[in-house]
Structure 1
């Protein structure tokens, strides 16, 4: 997905397995705490929750006029492509931040909590936007969704920088030599006692 300069669709997307507790917490927090602040300025905003096995706790969002829960889809890329921004409102959980790397690799402007990119040396305002409070998250979303030259330049820069960051730090050219060295060590004959 290449970044473009067209006015963004007022669509925010989140992808993930939707019976995973940290994802459930993230989308509930976003829909209940952040989205109302965004919708005040952009009543046409849509929040798409894309992922299999939506937990019963998400049922409270099914009648929300600004929320769509897709359930399982065969391909998340069309949802990401049509979104104005990818949001990562993670507040709990650990492990490798594949969601952030995947979002950034698409070149889509990404807005995340600090926890959502923990352990990844991203630069706020260059590779993505970081926000940890509802007000800050809403402000970052609105900044990206604006239809003006400054916002268009921001979207393009965020998308291009994010994609370049992932390619530089996590692309095959970076990973293959590391894996080759690891495999060589693992397959090397064990030293013989003297």
Structure 2
């Protein structure tokens, strides 16, 4: 028997910030020396961001993560309103200032913690299907999913223009992780499964001992 214990998030550390987000601001978090993250930013800046700028000229993007490559630094230097933070001690203030968290991943891998962290902070997320792969989330309820540049841009623009929907999705996302994927919930599942294994093992050993008499 195989039991899968889901990813968890510290919902006491990652929690909603009462300060309002900066208008027309996007944020991406992740180690930038990891190829899927670097590819995601190049894809977003080259293929999606120009479409958003047609409707929201003042859009800004903050990329929060360690070791952005020289190639990525050059990209940011040639684009307006794109900031690379490099390593930061605490990502929460940067996430709090973003109106929307984006996850435009095209390459799979990892545990998708960035989405659970954003959801725990009640931040609306726009992601590709690969970006949210394996997470128990529903499109249009806990986040918005889009797998081509025009649809991704439309999803971002829609949320930027609809503060009530941003709030609604963010709160639903927070509720999902708080009730099901907090560290406490995940630890309880792990403990329950370990107890079950130990109980069954002890029972089996007892039966073997009785049979051997």
TM-score norm. by structure 2 comes to 0.81
How many Å separate the matches in 1 of 2:195 and 2:28? 39
- In structure 1, stretches of 5+ residues that fail to align are none
Matched, 1:37 2:56: no
Shift of 1:107: 0.3
2:148 alignment partner in structure 1: 133
Q: Deviations over 1:101-140 (max 9, x none)?
A: 1111110111000111111121111111111111111111
Please identify, of 40-49 and 60-69, the stretch whose mean Cα deviation from structure 2 is larger: 60-69
Which of 69, 72, 82 pairs up with 1:58?
A: 72
1:178 alignment partner in structure 2: 189
- In structure 2, stretches of 5+ residues that fail to align are 1-14
Which of 89, 92, 100 pairs up with 1:77?
A: 92
Matched, 1:107 2:122: yes
How many Å separate the matches in 1 of 2:126 and 2:70? 26
Which of 149, 157, 166 pairs up with 2:168?
A: 157
* Aligned residues of 1:62 and 1:69 also touching (Cα < 8 A): yes
Shift of 1:13: 0.3
How many Å separate the matches in 2 of 1:40 and 1:145? 13
RMSD: 2.1
Aligned residues: 190
* Aligned residues of 1:101 and 1:166 also touching (Cα < 8 A): yes
- CA distance 1:95–1:6, shift in 2 (3 Å): closer
2:136 alignment partner in structure 1: 121
* Aligned residues of 1:8 and 1:145 also touching (Cα < 8 A): no
Please identify, of 56-65 and 180-189, the stretch whose mean Cα deviation from structure 2 is larger: 180-189
TM-score norm. by structure 1 comes to 0.89
How many Å separate the matches in 2 of 1:81 and 1:45? 16
